[in-house]
Amino acid sequence: DGVVLELPAVTSVTGSLGNTWQADGTGSVLRLPSLTSIANGDGHAFDMFLRATTGGRIELPAVTTIVDPNTGDTRNRGVHITADGPGSTIDLSALLQFTDANPDERSSLSAANFGTIVVNGSQPVSLINVMTSETNNGMILGQFGMRVDVPPPLGAEAELRQEELQRIADAAITLLSGSTSVDLQSRLSAVRVSITDLPGLFVGYADKDRILIDDDAAGYGWFVDATPLDDEEFLSSEAGTDSPARGRIDLLSVVLHEYLHVLGMSHAHSPGETIASPLIEPGRRLQLMPDLLDDLMSDGLAAW
């Protein structure tokens, strides 16, 4: 517990039999800031395990590639990455490619029991023969997480209350339902919307049946609009100097963004500063593009 191990010189690693990296317990950190690639070794039953448990953190912020190669004895081999338990986090925020080239045993990414794995959120991540699982509030953040770009100025911000979130969620459903003839009310009302402490700069997250909203907007604090169907606090999308939205993250924008993920939106729908962007700045309201919802509806409601 409480051990920080930093290996700044390591840029690539190759796995071997039973190779395990583990950070166990709050305060335990394994950090390899220069590591860019992880390749499994090619002997029989070589498994690599990266495990963050009971609050431990494994920080691999420069890793872009993970591979279990197609060479050697490919039987019973995989790279298995697990974050299990509240506060347990694996930072793979630059990850672009995770490939298991010998799928007789697939590799895996598993987040369980409020554990979090952060993958690249600004570019699509290619996962080939990799099983993903999120169980009991585990999260694989990235593709469907919305975040701010820059850490906030210091200062304690009030935490969001569930009734405030529910009011904004209701307004978002009204806005979305009004933009299309398809009945979205029942689909979206079935999505659980709740408050949690998302890691780092993340402010929102969605998967197919739930939305998670950060408790304090990554430290910026939320703008909870008393008149969510009116944009009067935003002068041409930006909050003026005396606006209550100034310096805060607009909850309505984030909730709309996450509902759109539930309906099948990806960040690839995002040229520039629109509701599909995975980044949001304080004091900004992102606009719902009229065509976006029609596109999603013509693709059919997302099956995922």
Q: Does 42 bind Ca ion (CB under 5 A)?
A: no
Beta-sheet pairing, 234-235 with 238-239: antiparallel
**CA 300/CA 145 separation, integer angstroms:** 22
164 binds Ca ion (CB under 5 A): no
Residues near Ca ion (CB under 5 A), total: 14
What does R_g of the chain's alpha carbons equal in angstroms? 21
Part in contact with Zn ion (CB under 5 A); list of ranges 105-113, 138-146, 188-196, 280-288: 138-146
Q: What order of strands is seen across the sheet that includes strand 210-214?
A: 145-147, 202-207, 210-214, 192-196
- 156 makes contact with Ca ion (CB under 5 A): no
Residue of the chain from 163, 209, 230, 242 that contacts Ca ion (CB under 5 A): 230
225 binds, among Ca ion, Zn ion, none (CB under 5 to 8 A by kind): Ca ion
Residues 62-91: x/- map of binding to Ca ion (CB under 5 A)? ------x-------xxx-------------
Residue 197 touches which of Ca ion, Zn ion, none (CB < 5 to 8 A by kind)?
Answer: Ca ion
Q: Which does 227 bind (CB under 5 to 8 A by kind): Ca ion, Zn ion, none?
A: Ca ion
Q: Closest Cα to residue 207, out of 277, 261, 136, 280? A: 261
User: How many angstroms separate the Cα of 245 from the Cα of each of 56, 106, 163?
Assistant: 36, 47, 19
Q: Is 20 in the site for Ca ion (CB under 5 A)?
A: no
Map residue 49 onto helix, strand or coil. strand
160 near Zn ion, rule: CB under 5 A: no
Q: Which is nearer to Ca ion, 59 or 214 (CB)?
A: 214
Beta bridge partners of 84: 53, 112
Name, in order, each residue with C-beta under 8 angstroms of 180's C-beta and a sequence gap of 6 or more.
293, 294, 297
146 contributes a contact to Zn ion by CB under 5 A: yes
Separation of alpha carbons 78 and 83, rounded Å: 16
Distance from C-alpha of 34 to C-alpha of 12, rounded to nearest angstrom: 8
Which partner, Ca ion, Zn ion, none, binds residue 78 by CB below 5 to 8 Å per kind?
Ca ion
Helix (H, G, I), strand (E, B) or coil at 250: strand
Which range, of 38-46, 209-217, 231-239, 278-286, touches Zn ion by CB under 5 A? 278-286
Binding Zn ion (rule: CB under 5 A), the pick from 15, 78, 138, 278 is 278
Decide: 211 and 262 in contact? Cβ < 8 Å.
yes
Six token digits for residue 160: 């969001």
Give the separation between CA 124 and CA 101, rounded to whole angstroms.
19
Interface characters, 180-209, with Ca ion (x: CB under 5 A): -----------------xx-----------
| 102 lies in the site for Ca ion, by CB under 5 A | yes
Taking CB under 5 A as the criterion, the residue among 134, 225, 250, 258 binding Ca ion is 225
**254 in contact with Zn ion (CB under 5 A):** no
Task: State the nearest-atom distance from the C-beta of 76 to Ca ion, in Å.
Answer: 4
Shortest Å, Cβ 17 to Ca ion? 10
Rounded to the nearest 5 percent, the helix, strand and coil shares of the chain are: 15, 30, 50
- Return the SS3 of 291: helix
Binding partner of residue 20 among Zn ion, Ca ion, none, CB cut-off 5 to 8 Å per kind: none
Per CB under 5 A, residues contacting Zn ion are 146, 278
Per CB under 5 A, residues contacting Ca ion are 47, 68, 76-78, 100, 102, 105, 197-198, 214, 225, 227, 230
